[in-house]
Amino acid sequence: MAAQRRAAHATGQRGIPRAAAVAGALALFAAFLALRFPYERLLPPLLEAVRGATGAEIEVAELRLGLAWQGPRVVAKNVALRWPSNPPLAFEALSVGPAWSLAWLRGSPRFQLDLRGAAGAWSGELGRDRLAGKLDAFDVGVLPWALLGTEPPLRGRLSGVLDLEQQDGVWLGSAEVAGTSGSVELAGLPVAIPYEALTAKLDLARDGMSLPSARLEGPLVTASFAGSATAGAEAFPAWPIDLAVEIERIDPALRSYLGPLGIQLDPQGRTRVHVTGTLAAPFLSGATP
């Protein structure tokens, strides 16, 4: 038994330098791949994917190679997305590498992106016809709302997930977001409605978009709402809307605004509201019981 232990110990001792040699060889191989990796070739298809998915031109001030557990990645500094007649959207850092996707075989490159900057963070998959991933404390007010012909309907930072595919020029999919401080700023509202908590689920389809569920909690209003906006030949702000809103609590200062619209509240400040009209010109009325 003693001889067996000594033999096992000797084998283990020999195994340590062997494992170190293997690890060293792998490290050298990875470094060789990094030095030889043609990372500049990733940039043109990435730029094309960004243009196709967002309509933006992308500017990169500095480009270098980085290593991650997934393999070599391109690391860019001071990145800016630019749209016509819209302020640029700037990020301090961008890390990008090829995404594991069969779309490459169809001639549609997919990239795994990590974006970080003052506007917030984004991590996920990007392609000319693909946008999926996570938002982290993203400032929705700086997004290019002008391209849709509207002012930002929300102010504040949202976190959540997106899963979108573009088919025949139409984006389809879903999004789920949440925020803890901001405001809703829609035409037709007497004031911006501040919120301390906001959650919403959004589905995009060929005939428009739907809001299966959403909830807003704030100092002026606490309400839940659901509904849809129907796509048409007109611009986005002219899409017809149909929303059902259940108000659980409303500040007394806003009650005088609802009275002339025929919207009655119970003593606790609860009521139901039907919102029609368009995104640019919503019309509030009392909901049918």
Going from N- to C-terminal start, the domains of the chain cover 1-36, 149-289
pLDDT score at 74 = 76
In the chain, pLDDT over 70 holds for what percent of residues? Answer: 76
pLDDT at 285 over 90: no
Question: Is a pLDDT exceeding 70 seen at residue 11?
Answer: no
Mean pLDDT of the chain: 80
- Note whether 255 and 266 are within 8 A (CB): no
- What pLDDT score does 72 carry? 60
Kindly report, residue by residue over 100-117, the tens digit of the pLDDT.
766 655 667 788 888 899
DSSP 169: T
Question: Given a cut of 90, is residue 174 above it in pLDDT?
Answer: yes
- pLDDT over threshold 50, residue 151: yes
- For 118, residues 6+ apart whose C-beta sits below 8 A from its C-beta are 90, 92, 139
Q: What is the mean pLDDT of residues 49-71?
A: 70
Q: Identify the weakest region by mean pLDDT among 18-27, 121-130, 143-152.
A: 18-27
DSSP alpha helix (H) spans, 37-133: 43-54
Supply the pTM of this predicted model: 0.75
pLDDT for the residue 29: 42
Burial of 279 (0-12, 13-18, 19+ CB in 10 A): buried
Q: H-type helices in the chain, by residue range? A: 2-36, 43-54, 252-258
Instruction: Give the span between the Cα atoms of 125 and 21, in whole angstroms.
Output: 36
Mean pLDDT over residues 92-96, rounded? 85
Task: Give residue-wise pLDDT tens across range 176-226.
Answer: 999 999 999 877 677 889 999 999 999 999 999 999 999 999 999 999 999
Cα distances from 27 to residues 24, 111, 268, in angstroms, run 5, 25, 68
Alpha helices in 136-224 (DSSP H): none
- Residues 157 and 179: beta-carbon distance below 8 Å: yes
Beta strands in the chain (DSSP E): 57-68, 71-83, 86-98, 110-117, 120-127, 130-139, 154-167, 170-184, 193-195, 197-205, 208-217, 221-230, 241-250, 271-277, 282-286
- Chain-centroid distance, C-alpha 150: 19
What are 220-251's pLDDT values in tens digits? Answer: 999 999 999 999 777 888 999 999 999 999 88
Q: Given this model, what pLDDT does residue 20 score?
A: 56
Give pLDDT, residue 232: 79
Q: Is pLDDT larger for residue 224 or for residue 98?
A: 224
Question: For residue 40, what pLDDT band results from cuts at 50, 70 and 90?
Answer: low
